[in-house]
């Protein structure tokens, strides 16, 4: 959306909001243009182009606030949103005062967005190149193998009655291969996603990595149950930390659904564990200078050598706790929530080989799924279907599958025995969790 | 929403570069929710999803585009974009659209979008306080009432111009119980393809609240489930998620048509015990996943997927039909206009079988009784699935004994289907949202009590 268009819509909202008796209001717009392409067998099977966005209004009448949102960013829709938001405000029973970000604050100046949306042809060509590389990567390649590419350019506006006039713009693109290998009627698959300009992507290297990963999974057996030393691959630790992310949100703590409530300043993790949330993570094209309610963002240490330094706050939860916002407000369709930017475990001193030596006889976990069903974010308990490899003679050994790794997230934080020295290339994004490999001396595994 | 003449013009433009099929999906969908926590209404919200998607096809090649600009100019611009992206030559096409009507099979008496939010808030409070006041150990409750009023039109180059309205309403309540033994939660989320009349007799808000509290409390005293291979009985209702995950996704044309499903090429083969008959039924009256017409404009019908253990049908969308050379089954679905449709389930269940429920439990010397299932996921390539047991009990000597927590069931679809060796007679469905390539859509899963002779149980002991 053009800035002038947004400003016209905002002016219409302002006029209607005043008529409705609102004392405060804010209009948030987030939209993007996107292109994606994918292949099937030897042809380009699908191509998508989207020009979509959300306009979200929040207003305050008396002590009550209400929200309404729409995909349709037009003048007439903006007026309807005011009426809907006013109806919602009338229903709200929240006692706490609701805050709007003040004007006059300092925001980090981001480098201007230099991303240029690639042409449809460039996206299609990139997908076909990934496909070519995938089919050339193994003699065992089979149906279902595909290549793909994507690009998006997003923009965000935040205007409010407090005089804030904020906007961010960022874009990214990338490509992927999906290798499906077949051997003796058995199939194994693996993905590899590479972000960055299409011309810089080494399609053959990506395809080789995916096919090798898929191949390594053939012949997997179910391991005997028992307690094992465990090395979680960074991507799996990322899934674990991502699943339990809400326990770091002040809102959950205040509602009694995070066991980290009241633990700020206390030791909740191992001495070697430091976790940072960084809106300006180096190399990530999707950076943000303001959060979902217009507050400035900044880099913060959440866990410092095992000690919980802060939960993540927005204006409301910060006021409730007598603190200041950490700039972590998210903007959903209906309300203000909490989000992270680049939330990561600071890498430690150990290479993967060194971690394997520590975990001799243990398991290297390279796949976990079913977190939405197998993890309880309230109690911290999890029991997750996994796959991976035995660790033998300090190296990755035979493939194993269909076992569950069980534990408790809060115990896991305390029991991290060593942390890998690298965060592998993981896709950029506005809200991301990133982790290096992590070693624990013993965890229960259910298998055969 | 969009005039027929405009649709004709847009479809002709979309087909101008050699497409053999074009389709417009346009919607105007208001939705709302009211949310309670800490014994008060925390927020109420309203959303409007309005936009259009255009798909063109040439053989099995597709191009899809979406926009929020539903003006003639905006739609023609999008039609040109998708046509240029397809780029299969040049063609002059004339489209004439005819009305396509059907008799709606899911009557709605009081569409929730037309009911004041204050009335919805009253229903929500009945549910909320029933959970919050169930017992002293209930320390927190979160509850939400949601409704969606999906108005859409589909126009395609086969001359179809079809409109539908799908109204759905749902309650979702999570209760958190806490005592000296720990903290546990319980969730219940009943939904129907109905308006507010759903709460007159079909779904009693207080019962939903009490049930969420009961599950949380039951789990409080539970020890961790032992792990290993064992016999498992899975109760009706949301227990049907086992079939949804273990088999249903593998019967969708999206994975069958690309040859990646473990079920590809198995039509007519015995893939389950003969006690197993499985159905996808979008016609179940007012059920959460029911649809008269799918999101590609195809009228729906009941699909027998497995009959007495033999694979009878897949769920086939338009692209799948082209890939597989099969007829459409009315299974093309999508979350909204931003998604290209793919083959999806509606209300999918294992039908009642020959076994008495009491015989199923008494047949188990040592195993697990899964009274409530959580969600799960599956890899259609390998058929490997997992799902969580929300509320489980150890069975000893044919009797249901102590409650256990932290259990998950893992295996592969083909294996577990063959291992379902007893099928009871109390079929009931549960409601959920299913996420896949075309977004998050309402689904029902269901079954009677069933017995799986052997399956891996993931636990902690």
Cβ B85–A80 below 8 Å, yes or no? no
**B306, part of any domain:** yes
Say if the Cβ atoms of B183 and A43 lie within 8 Å. Answer: no
Residues in chain A: 448
Q: How far apart are CA A403 and CA A346, in angstroms?
A: 29
Contact list in B for residue A378 (CB cut-off 8 A) is 176, 183-185
Which residue of chain A has the CA closest to B122?
A: A91
**Domain end (from A192, A216, A240):** A216
Same domain, A328 and A303: yes
Its sign, for the CA torsion A319, A320, A323, A329, is: negative
Distances (CA, A) of A266 to A261, A318, A345, A410, B137: 11, 19, 18, 13, 26
Q: How far apart are CA B419 and CA A287, in angstroms?
A: 51
Domains: count for chain A:
2
Query: For residue A440, is it within any domain?
Result: yes
Flag whether residue B317 sits within 8 Å of chain A, measured between CB atoms.
no
- The answer to whether residue B441 is domain-embedded is yes
Name chain B contacts of A402, Cβ cutoff 8 Å. 384, 410-411, 456
The ipTM (two decimal places) reads 0.84
Render pLDDT for B109-154 as a digit per residue (tens, 0 to 9). Answer: 999 999 999 999 999 999 999 999 999 999 999 999 999 999 999 9
| DSSP string of A153-214, one letter each residue | EEEEEEEETTS-EEEEEEEEEEEEEEEEEEETTEEEEEEEEEES-GGG--HHHHHHHHHHHH
What domain range includes position A160?
3-216
Nearest by CB to residue B408, choosing from A91, A259, A370, is: A370
Distance CA B307, CA B381 (A): 23
Q: Is the pLDDT of residue A373 over 90?
A: no
Could you tell me which of A399, A395, A396, A398 has the C-alpha nearest to residue A387?
A: A399
Q: Assess contact for A119 and A156: CB atoms under 8 A.
A: no
Residues of B with Cβ-Cβ distance to A142 under 8 angstroms: 259
* CB within 8 Å: B458 and A120: no
Rounded-to-integer distance, Cα B366 and Cα A237, Å: 35
- For CA atoms A28, A33, A39, A44, the dihedral sign is positive
Residue in A48, A94, A256 nearest the CB of B139: A256
pLDDT tens digits, one per residue of B184-210: 889 999 999 999 999 998 999 999 999
CB contacts, 8 Å: B405 with chain A:
381
Q: Judge whether B386 lies within some domain.
A: yes
DSSP A232-257: E-HHHHHHHHHHTGGGGBHHHHHTT-
- 3 state SS of B300: coil
Place of tokens 């008495």: B356
| Cβ–Cβ under 8 Å, residues B54 and B10 | yes
One DSSP character per residue, B204-228 reads: -HHHHHHHHHHHHHHHHTPEEPP-E
A45–B224 CB contact, under 8 Å: no
Give the closest of A43, A259, A333 to B47, CB-based.
Answer: A333
Q: What per-residue confidence (pLDDT) applies to A51?
A: 85
d(CA B213, CA B204): 15
Residue A221 lies in a domain: no
**Does pLDDT of A448 surpass 80?**
no
From B81, B376, B381, residue closest to A373, measured CB to CB:
B376
Compute how many other C-beta atoms are within 10 angstroms of the C-beta atom of residue B92: 7
- A124 interaction partners in chain B (CB closer than 8 Å): 85
The answer to whether residue A117 is domain-embedded is yes
B458 versus B156: the higher-pLDDT residue is B156
Q: Are residues A260 and A397 in the same domain?
A: yes
Q: Which of residues 400-429 of B touch A (CB under 8 A)?
A: 405-408, 410-411
Distance CA B90, CA B84 (A): 10
Nearest to B259 among A92, A144, A374 (CB): A144
Q: Which pLDDT score, from 0 to 100, does residue A160 have?
A: 96
Whether residue A272 is contained in a domain is answered as yes
Residue B176: inside a domain, yes or no? no
Domain boundary among A151, A186, A216: A216
Give yes or no: residues A352 and A442 share one domain. yes
pLDDT of amino acid A74: 84
Contacts of A379 in chain B (CB under 8 A): 182-185
Output the DSSP codes for B125-159: HHHHHHHHTS-TTEEEEEEEEEEEEEEEEEEETTS
Q: In this model, does residue A428 exceed pLDDT 60?
A: no
Q: How far apart are CA B81 and CA B77, in angstroms?
A: 6
Do A225 and B227 count as a contact with CB atoms less than 8 A apart? yes
Q: Is residue B461 scored above 70 in pLDDT? A: no
* Interface contact B44-A187, CB threshold 8 A: no
Whether B163 contacts B19, CB under 8 Å: no
Residues A288 and A369 in one domain: yes
8 Å CB contact of A370 and B40: no
- Name the phi and psi angles at B260, rounded to 5: -95, -10
Distance from CA of B291 to the nearest CA of A (A): 24
Q: What is residue B293's DSSP assignment?
A: B
Burial of A226 (0-12, 13-18, 19+ CB in 10 A): exposed
Average of per-residue pLDDT across B375-397: 82
The CA distance from B352 to B189, in Å, is 23
In a domain, B185, yes or no: no
Among A7-11, A72-76, A261-265, A288-292, whose mean pLDDT is lowest?
A72-76
| Domain assignment of residue B322, yes or no | yes
CB atoms within 10 A of CB A349: 10
Nearest CB among B45, B379, B384 relative to A333 is that of B45
Are B50 and A72 within 8 A, CB to CB?
yes
The total number of structural domains that make up chain B: 1
Q: What is the pLDDT of residue A255?
A: 86
- Is A183 in the same domain as A67? yes
- For residues A210 and A253, membership in a common domain is answered with no
Instruction: Give CA–CA dist B345/A267, Å, rounded.
Output: 47
CA of B90, closest CA in chain A: separation in Å? 18
Count Cβ atoms within 10 A of the Cβ of residue A390 and give its class: 0-12 exposed, 13-18 middle, 19 or more buried: middle
Asked whether residue A96 carries a pLDDT value surpassing 80, the answer given is: no
pLDDT digits (tens, 9 = 90+) for B266-303: 999 999 999 999 999 999 999 999 999 999 999 999 99
CB-CB contact of B20 with B96 (8 Å): no
Residues A99 and A172 in one domain: yes
Using H for helix, E for strand and C for coil, what is the string for A292-332? CCCCECCCEEEEECCEECCCECCHHHHHHHCCCCCCCEEEC
When scoring B227, B249, B440 by the number of chain A Cβ atoms within 10 A, the one with the most, hence best to mutate, is B227
| Residue A99 lies inside a defined structural domain of this protein | yes
Q: How many helices (H) and strands (E) does chain B have?
A: 9, 24
Residue corresponding to tokens 């037009």 = A74
The whole-number pLDDT of residue A425 equals 65
Can you give the residue range of the structural domain that contains B353? 228-458
Residue B7 within a domain: no
Using CB atoms and an 8 Å cut-off, which of residues 114-133 of chain B contact chain A? Answer: 117-118, 121
pLDDT of residue A376: 85
Contact with chain A for residue B459, Cβ under 8 A: yes
By Cβ distance, the residue of B43, B60, B260 closest to A334 is B43
Fill in the DSSP letter of residue B167: E
From chain B residues 138-197, the ones with a CB under 8 A of any chain A CB are: 139-140, 142, 176, 178, 182-185
pLDDT single digits (tens) B235-274: 999 999 989 988 999 999 998 998 878 899 999 999 999 9
User: Is B277 within the bounds of a domain?
Assistant: yes
For residue B68, the distance in angstroms to the closest alpha carbon of chain A comes to 6
- Matching residue, tokens 């890498």: A347
In this structure, is the dihedral angle defined by the CA atoms of residues A74, A80, A83 and A84, taken in order, positive or negative? Answer: negative
Note whether residue A248 is domain-resident.
Answer: yes
């Amino acid at each position: 959306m053009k800035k002038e268009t947004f400003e016209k819509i905002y002016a219409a909202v302002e006029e209607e909001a005043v008529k409705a008796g609102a004392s405060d209001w804010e209009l948030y717009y987030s939209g993007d243009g996107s292109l994606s392409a994918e292949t099937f067998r030897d042809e380009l099977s699908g191509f998508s182009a989207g020009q979509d966005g959300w306009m979200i209004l929040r207003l305050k009448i008396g002590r009550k606030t209400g929200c309404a949102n729409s995909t349709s960013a037009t003048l007439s829709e903006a007026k309807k949103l005011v009426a809907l938001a006013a109806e919602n405000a009338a229903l709200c029973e929240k006692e706490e005062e609701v805050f709007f970000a003040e004007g006059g604050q300092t925001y980090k100046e981001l480098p201007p967005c230099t991303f240029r949306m690639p042409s449809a042809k460039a996206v299609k060509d990139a997908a076909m190149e990934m496909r070519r590389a995938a089919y050339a990567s193994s003699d065992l390649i089979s149906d279902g193998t595909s290549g793909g590419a994507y690009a998006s350019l997003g923009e965000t506006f935040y205007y409010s009655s407090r005089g804030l006039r904020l906007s961010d713009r960022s874009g990214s693109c990338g490509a992927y291969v999906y290798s499906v290998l077949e051997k003796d009627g058995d199939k194994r698959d693996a993905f590899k996603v590479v972000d960055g300009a299409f011309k810089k992507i080494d399609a053959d290297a990506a395809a080789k990595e995916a096919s090798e990963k898929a191949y390594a999974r053939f012949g997997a057996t179910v391991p005997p149950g028992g307690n094992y030393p465990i090395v979680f691959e960074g991507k799996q630790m990322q899934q674990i930390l991502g699943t339990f992310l809400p326990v770091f949100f002040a809102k959950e703590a205040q509602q009694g659904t995070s066991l980290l409530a009241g633990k700020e300043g206390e030791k909740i993790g191992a001495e070697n564990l430091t976790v940072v949330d960084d809106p300006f993570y180096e190399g990530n094209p999707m950076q943000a200078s303001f959060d979902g309610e217009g507050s400035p963002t900044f880099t913060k240490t959440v866990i410092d050598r095992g000690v919980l330094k802060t939960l993540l706050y927005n204006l409301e939860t910060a006021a409730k706790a007598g603190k200041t916002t950490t700039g972590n407000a998210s903007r959903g369709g209906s309300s203000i929530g909490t989000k992270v930017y680049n939330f990561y475990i600071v890498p430690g001193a150990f290479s993967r080989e060194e971690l394997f030596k520590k975990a001799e006889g243990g398991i290297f976990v390279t796949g976990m799924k079913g977190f939405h069903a197998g993890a309880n974010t309230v109690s911290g308990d999890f029991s997750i279907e996994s796959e991976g490899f035995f660790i033998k003679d300090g190296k990755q050994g035979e493939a194993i599958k269909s076992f569950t790794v069980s534990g408790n997230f809060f115990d896991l934080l305390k029991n991290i025995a060593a942390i890998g020295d690298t965060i592998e290339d993981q896709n950029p994004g506005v809200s991301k969790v990133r982790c290096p490999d992590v070693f624990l001396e013993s965890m229960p595994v259910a298998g055969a | 929403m969009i005039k027929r003449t405009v649709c004709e013009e847009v479809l002709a433009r979309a087909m101008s570069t050699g497409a053999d099929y074009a389709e417009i999906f346009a919607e105007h969908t208001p939705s709302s929710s009211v949310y309670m926590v800490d014994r008060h209404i925390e927020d109420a919200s309203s959303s409007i999803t309005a936009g259009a998607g255009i798909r063109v096809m040439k053989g099995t090649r597709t191009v899809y585009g979406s926009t929020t600009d539903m003006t003639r100019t905006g739609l023609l611009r999008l039609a040109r974009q998708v046509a240029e992206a397809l780029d299969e030559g040049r063609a002059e096409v004339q489209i004439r659209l005819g009305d396509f009507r059907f008799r709606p099979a899911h009557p709605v008496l009081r569409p929730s979008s037309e009911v004041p939010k204050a009335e919805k808030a009253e229903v929500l409070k009945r549910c909320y306080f029933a959970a919050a006041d169930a017992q002293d150990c209930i320390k927190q409750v979160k509850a939400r009432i949601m409704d969606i009023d999906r108005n859409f039109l589909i126009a395609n180059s086969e001359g179809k111009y079809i409109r539908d309205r799908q109204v759905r309403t749902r309650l979702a309540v999570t209760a958190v119980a806490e005592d000296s033994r720990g903290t546990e939660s319980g969730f219940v989320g009943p939904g129907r393809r109905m308006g507010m009349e759903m709460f007159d007799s079909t779904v009693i808000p207080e019962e939903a609240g009490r049930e969420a509290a009961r599950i949380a409390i039951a789990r409080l005293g539970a020890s961790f489930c032992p792990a290993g291979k064992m016999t498992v009985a899975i109760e009706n209702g949301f227990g049907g998620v086992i079939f949804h995950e273990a088999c249903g996704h593998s019967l969708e044309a999206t994975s069958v048509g690309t040859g990646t499903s473990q079920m590809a090429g198995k039509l007519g083969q015995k893939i389950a015990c003969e006690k197993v008959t499985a159905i996808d039924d979008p016609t179940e009256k007012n059920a959460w996943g029911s649809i008269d017409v799918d999101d590609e404009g195809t009228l729906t019908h009941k699909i027998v997927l497995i009959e007495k253990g033999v694979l009878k049908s897949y769920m086939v969308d338009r692209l799948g039909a082209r890939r597989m050379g099969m007829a459409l089954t009315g299974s093309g679905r999508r979350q909204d206009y931003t998604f290209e449709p793919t083959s999806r389930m509606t209300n999918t269940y294992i039908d009642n079988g020959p076994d008495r429920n009491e015989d199923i439990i008494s047949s188990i010397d040592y195993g697990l009784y899964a009274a409530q299932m959580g969600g799960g996921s599956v890899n259609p390539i390998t058929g490997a699935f997992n799902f969580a047991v929300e509320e489980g009990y150890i069975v000893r000597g044919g009797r249901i004994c102590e409650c256990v927590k932290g259990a998950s069931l893992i295996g592969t679809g083909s294996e577990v289907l063959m291992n379902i060796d007893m099928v009871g007679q109390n079929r009931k469905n549960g409601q959920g949202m299913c996420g896949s390539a075309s977004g998050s859509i309402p689904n029902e899963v269901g079954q009677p009590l069933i017995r799986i002779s052997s399956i891996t149980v993931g636990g902690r002991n």
